[in-house]
Amino acid sequence: MDFNAGSPEDIYVPGAVTTAVKILVVGHFAVGKTTLIGALSEIAPLSTEEKMTQASTRVDDLRGVPDKKTTTVALDFGRLTLGDDLVLYLFGTPGQQRFMQLWEDMARGALGALLLADPTRLSDTFPVIDLIEQYGLEYAVAVNSFDRQSDYTEDELREALDLLPHTPVVFCDARDQRSSADALLTLVRHLLERAS
Amino acid sequence: MTVPGEEQRVAGGFIRSYVITGGRELPSADDLSLITLVTVAPEQELPALPSPETVAIWELCSGGYLSVAEVSARLGLPVGVVRLLLTDLIREGRLLRRATPPPAQAPDPRLLEKVLHGLQRRFA
């Protein structure tokens, strides 16, 4: 099936849709969140601005930030119509600790999170896992890996990221629709297991 | 800031937002979530003396249902501003909204099953 938006009327959600749900695609900067969303979305990925108050603590630069400060962050997202009455939104959510207010908004009502990890920058994924766990989101790890032979094994990744035994790990190529869909399906199966 | 990242894609919209909203406080995400779907109500008209932003929202939402996030992105307006203008139009009965599921602590297994089956069909 090809749902790519070509004509203007394609931008709209089908009229029979009564339920909208969201899943977060999370990960550090430039890990491939928007690439994965673009591989799956029926519309070209969109970007929206959310204004928020920046947390005054735990900033990851050396200068520190005096008290509260307003900042604007771009959220990239995509859409998948899943049957007659259901639509799924995928929101790329930046993993920096200073976007805590954003996380509060994004986590509310989310079904779960797909954590994209770059095997060559695993330490950048630690703070993202902290955020996911802080907001009580269920998640699966998708290792964005173009050439898995040269990377870690699943066991090595599990150990490096200190994952719980039930947290799924899947290797994927965020540029590839099939591969990205498999990662998303792994997450949803996991969510279903945890909810049942 | 020395860290390159998403936060650098700033549109400097503070003054712009302030003017569009008349300095009113923006509604929170609780009032109108990013994935709430909205459309123009049947047989409704634009309010008198609408702002250009309200006209743009009206024209976009005349074609069918879109999420709050999509309205914001398609018009290039910050989410908070769009929320406020949409809230006004909904309160006046000019726009319809479709409810999204309540922010339950644990997602409903039946809903997750629908998502799973929908994805399987789509990417089979």
A46 contacts B73? CB cut-off 8 A? yes
- For chains A and B, what is the number of CB pairs under 8 angstroms? 178
* Set of chain B residues whose Cβ sits within 8 Å of the Cβ of A52: none
Q: Print pLDDT tens along chain A (196 aa).
A: 444 444 555 899 999 999 999 999 999 988 999 999 999 999 999 999 877 665 544 444 444 444 556 777 889 999 999 999 999 999 998 887 777 778 888 888 899 999 999 988 899 999 999 999 999 999 999 999 866 555 688 899 999 999 999 999 999 999 999 999 999 999 999 999 999 8
Beta strand B66-67 pairing with A169-172: unpaired
Beta strand A110-117 pairing with A139-144: parallel
Q: What angle do CA A4, A7, A10 make, to 5 degrees?
A: 60
Q: Which residues, in sequence order, are CB contacts of B49 under 8 Å at separation 6+?
A: none
Give the Cα separation of A152 and A170 in Å (integer): 12
Tell me how close the Cα of A32 comes to any Cα of chain B, in angstroms.
12
The torsion region of residue A162 among left (phi > 0), alpha (psi -120 to 50) and beta comes to left
B111 contacts A19? CB cut-off 8 A? yes
Give the Cα separation of A82 and B116 in Å (integer): 9
Q: Which residues, in sequence order, are CB contacts of B43 under 8 Å at separation 6+?
A: none
ipTM for this prediction: 0.86
A96 contacts B122? CB cut-off 8 A? no
Candidates A49, A91, A192; nearest CB to B78: A49
Q: Does B74 touch chain A if contact means CB atoms closer than 8 Å?
A: yes
B73 contacts A77? CB cut-off 8 A? yes
Give the Cα separation of A145 and A178 in Å (integer): 14
More confident of the two residues A29 and B7: A29
